[in-house]
Structure 1
Amino acid sequence: MALNSTIHTVTVHLADVDRSVYEELELRVARHPSESAEYMLTRLLAYCLEYEEGITFSDGGVSSTDEPPVLVRDLTGRLTTWIDVGAPDADRIHRASKLADRVAIYTHRDPAKVLAALPAKRIHRAEDIPVYSFDRTFIDSAAGLFDRRNVLTVSVTDRHLFLDLNGTSLSVAVEEHRLDGQS
């Protein structure tokens, strides 16, 4: 018998000063049985940091090879932004950069290891693909606070993320790296 996804209800108060995005979001986030809490939280933070009209979580789930965990479509349904999470392989990123106008990667893993696995491979428009990383201690702490029902305040200023999750405050610098070696 297959296990079902766990549904997490998340109220997000988003204040991204860097992009002038201020939203109140009511989200239902499905956590697949094979998905770690750290991955799910990174996926949720990527959604918040990339929030714009047309953003959604993938229907295919975390194991989908055809879609990213988070994506943006325009009003015609065309994929405009591919937002991957974790440590996607070079072939997946190469394909994504041909399908979407913009690709971004968010990782809760060691960014040096994620980047080290990619440069030997050819990736279309690699110089335009940012890799954003969160400090592992931050992700581990926040994931430990995540419940089935959550109230999340996300504030972003100068790429520094301030998070209040169910009454506990945490903060982290969101580090940006590039696939072409530029930081």
Structure 2
Amino acid sequence: MALKATVFKAQISLSDMDRGLYQDFSLTLARHPSETDERMMIRLAAFAWHAAERLEFTKGLSADDEPELWRKNYSDEIELWIELGQPDERRLKKACNRSRQVVLYLYGGRGTSVWWKQNQGKLTAHDNLSIIELSDSQTLPLAALIQRTMQLTCTISDGQLWISNGEAEVTLDPQVLHGKQARELV
């Protein structure tokens, strides 16, 4: 019998001072059995950084031809493709050909520098690709915020994201390795 995804509900109160966006979001996240708590919360953080009317979670790990999040226009063209982790270079190349803008949130500790050295030459050729590194010292504490039903406050200022559940707070300070800042991609 196949394992089923675990469903999480998140109420997010977003204050994005960089964009002047103040909005509440009710989100449903399905965590694939092979997905870690850290990864699921990075998906949630990526949503906060790029929050927009048509931004949505996809099937993610359950679908080879979809990103973690995407925003499509009314003609069903992909405007924004958001990936997580350390994907294969060919996957990112395909994403760059399918979407107007691609953002990779690179995470995974020491392995990120090795991944970047191996792929930097090929990936920097893509003008519509942004690679943003998140340190594990910042992403690992995200797992402590998880509950099946979450009430989160997200504040964004100068590109930094603070996520709080009222008891604990985590700060994410993304480092751009290639392309534009996350704030320029909304």
TM > 0.5 fold call: yes
- Choose 169-178 or 91-100, whichever is displaced more: 169-178
- Residue 82 of structure 1 corresponds to 81
Q: Residue 168 of structure 1: CA displacement?
A: 1.1
- Residue 69 of structure 2 corresponds to 70
Matched, 1:171 2:157: no
Q: Using a 3 Å threshold, how does the CA distance of structure 1 residues 108 and 84 change in structure 2: closer, same or farther?
A: same
Q: Does structure 2 conserve the Cα–Cα contact (< 8 Å) formed by 1:71 and 1:81?
A: yes
- Residue 28 of structure 1 corresponds to 28
SS of 1:53's equivalent in the other structure is: coil
Matches within 5 A, 1:1-183: 1-58=1-58, 60-110=59-109, 111-121=112-122, 123=123, 125-178=125-178
The amino acid of 1:137's aligned partner reads S
Q: Using a 3 Å threshold, how does the CA distance of structure 1 residues 165 and 137 change in structure 2: closer, same or farther?
A: farther
Q: Residue 29 of structure 1: CA displacement?
A: 0.4
The amino acid of 2:67's aligned partner reads P
Q: Does structure 2 conserve the Cα–Cα contact (< 8 Å) formed by 1:54 and 1:75?
A: no
Q: CA–CA distance in 2 between the matches of 1:34 and 1:172?
A: 24
Of Structure 1 and Structure 2, the greater helix share is in 2
Report percent identity of matched pairs. 25
SS of 1:105's equivalent in the other structure is: strand
Q: CA–CA distance in 2 between the matches of 1:44 and 1:127?
A: 25
Q: Residue 167 of structure 1: CA displacement?
A: 2.4
4+ runs deviating over 3 angstroms: none
The amino acid of 2:78's aligned partner reads L
Equivalenced residue count is 177
Q: CA–CA distance in 2 between the matches of 1:114 and 1:152?
A: 32
TM-score w.r.t. the length of structure 1 is: 0.88
Q: Does structure 1 conserve the Cα–Cα contact (< 8 Å) formed by 2:100 and 2:128?
A: no
TM-score w.r.t. the length of structure 2 is: 0.87
Q: Residue 114 of structure 1: CA displacement?
A: 3.3
Structure 1 residues without counterparts, runs of 5 or longer:
none
Q: CA–CA distance in 1 between the matches of 2:131 and 2:60?
A: 21
Q: Does structure 2 conserve the Cα–Cα contact (< 8 Å) formed by 1:14 and 1:24?
A: yes
Q: Does structure 2 conserve the Cα–Cα contact (< 8 Å) formed by 1:74 and 1:80?
A: yes
Q: CA–CA distance in 2 between the matches of 1:125 and 1:81?
A: 18
Q: CA–CA distance in 1 between the matches of 2:118 and 2:41?
A: 23
